[in-house]
């Protein structure tokens, strides 16, 4: 055997050794075994096969989110009956959802259904008696229902919870003005304007009531 033949034999032996080592190690592609993405959005296929990719699925809105969106769209179009239907369905899903109750109260106020608005705001307060906005809104409803004692009570409660919120003073002043208690209303309008000088309506009422007292 020549030296060249001996060299070929050694090379061949090395190739066979590596082949069988890989074969029995299990570290080779297997037929019938699919590629598994390591993360949700890992892509396979690349440029040559763009149809073969994994991608993160888009998050679908919940039924509650859909109903709230339907409500907002209907309110924007001033279709309050459609808004009420969507909110009614939302309350079936979650009867104590504060966002739904707030919207239902608002919609009922727009349609003049003050008793239903009252129920929504009272439900809100049964869930959280420290909700100053719910107190203020209930006060407005009670004033519409001619329950002046109840309206005053909830206006004062709203002011107690957040005395630095100008609209609370302004809304209470409006109620007092309509009741003919103009001196008290002037105090409310003045305080509202002190807290927020962008309230032009408060400024207007201050001038009106100030001239009345001259």
Name the residue ranges covered by the structural domains of the chain.
63-127
Tell the residue number behind the tokens 């107190």, with chain if given. Answer: 135
Q: How confident is the model at residue 60 (pLDDT cuts 50, 70, 90)?
A: confident
In the prediction, which pLDDT does 40 show?
46
Q: By the 8 A CB rule, do 84 and 107 touch? A: yes
pLDDT at 61: 84
Stated as kind and residue range, the H or E segment containing 74 is helix 63-76
Stated pTM of the model: 0.70
Question: Which CATH topology does 63-127 take?
Answer: 1.25.40
The pLDDT-based confidence of 211 (bands split at 50, 70, 90) is: low
Q: How far apart are CA 65 and CA 75, in angstroms?
A: 15
| 99 to 95, 109, 169: CA distances (angstroms) | 11, 16, 24
In this prediction, residues 2-28 reach a mean pLDDT of 59
Sign of CA dihedral 154, 160, 166, 169: positive
Query: How does pLDDT run across 174-210, given as a tens digit for each residue?
Result: 999 999 999 999 999 999 999 999 999 999 999 999 8
Residue that the structure tokens 């001259």 belong to: 214
């Amino acid at each position: 055997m020549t030296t060249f033949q001996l060299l070929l034999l050694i090379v061949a032996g090395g190739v066979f050794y590596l082949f069988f080592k890989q074969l029995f190690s299990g570290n080779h592609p297997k037929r019938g075994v699919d590629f598994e993405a390591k993360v949700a959005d890992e892509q396979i296929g690349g440029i040559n096969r763009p149809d073969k990719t994994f991608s993160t699925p888009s998050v679908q809105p919940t039924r509650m989110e859909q109903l709230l969106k339907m409500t907002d769209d209907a309110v924007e179009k001033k279709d309050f009956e459609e808004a009420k239907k969507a909110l009614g369905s939302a309350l079936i899903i979650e009867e104590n959802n504060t966002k739904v109750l707030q919207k239902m109260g608002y919609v009922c106020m727009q349609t003049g259904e003050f008793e239903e608005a009252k129920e929504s705001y009272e439900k809100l307060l049964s869930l959280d008696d420290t909700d100053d906005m719910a107190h203020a809104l209930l006060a407005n409803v009670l004033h519409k229902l001619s329950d002046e004692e109840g309206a005053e009570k909830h206006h004062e409660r709203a002011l107690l919870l957040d005395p630095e919120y100008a609209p609370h003073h302004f809304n209470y002043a409006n109620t007092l003005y309509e009741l003919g208690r103009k001196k008290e209303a002037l105090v409310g309008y003045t305080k509202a304007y002190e807290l927020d000088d962008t309230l032009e309506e408060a400024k207007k009422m201050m001038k009106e009531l100030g001239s009345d007292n001259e």
